[in-house]
Amino acid sequence: MNDFDKNFHINFSPLYFVFAFMLLMLWASEVEGDDHNVTFHGHTVDEQLLEVDPRPLFVGDITDTWHKDDDKLIIKTRFNEMYVLVIEACWNLNLAQSYLYGGLGWNQLHIIEPGLRVWPVVDGVLYRTHPCYVKKVLPLEVIG
């Protein structure tokens, strides 16, 4: 073997190690653990613990809102889902043209849940001292 070939293999030796490591990882990906509902640390896995909560409903997901009764708002989300928000302590809900959810600042990441503040905007006036509160969130339907 001449000097050029030796230098070539010496210079590329790190890539040879990377190639061997990748083959080892490819082989290791096929290895599967025992299925006995026990973790590596000895904790038992209960199927109830593995249940995932549904996707949270954020204020930024709301595309349309209208009032149904004196204490109910219907919201439509960008996922074509409709929910009923039961509102308490609100005197001007049916007069509002729009609604501000959550806070008076940037509020796209507030989760819609009981206790969320809702401010009705009546004739362009936001009544900051009199927020309404969400009492319940009830699913209504999924469209399409």
Q: Which residue type, as a one-letter code, is found at position 17?
A: F
pTM: 0.60
**Mean pLDDT of the chain, nearest integer:** 81
Contacts with 100 (C-beta within 8 Å, 6 or more apart), sequence order: 107, 118, 119, 121, 126
Distance set, CA 48 to CA 33, 40, 44, 53, 122 (Å): 21, 19, 12, 11, 46
pLDDT of 111-135, one tens digit each?
888 999 888 888 888 877 888 899 9
| Residue 59 burial (CB count, 10 A) | 18
pLDDT > 90 in the chain, percent: 19
- Alpha carbon of residue 71 to chain centroid: 27
For residues 11 and 3, the answer to whether their CB atoms sit within 8 Å is no
Per-domain residue ranges for the chain? 59-142
Sign of torsion over alpha carbons 101, 105, 111, 116: negative
Helix 13-28 vs helix 3-11: crossing angle, to nearest 10: 50
pLDDT of 84-103, one tens digit each?
999 988 888 888 888 888 86
pLDDT at 20 over 90: yes
CA 96 – CA 3 distance, rounded (Å):
85
pLDDT at 53 over 80: no
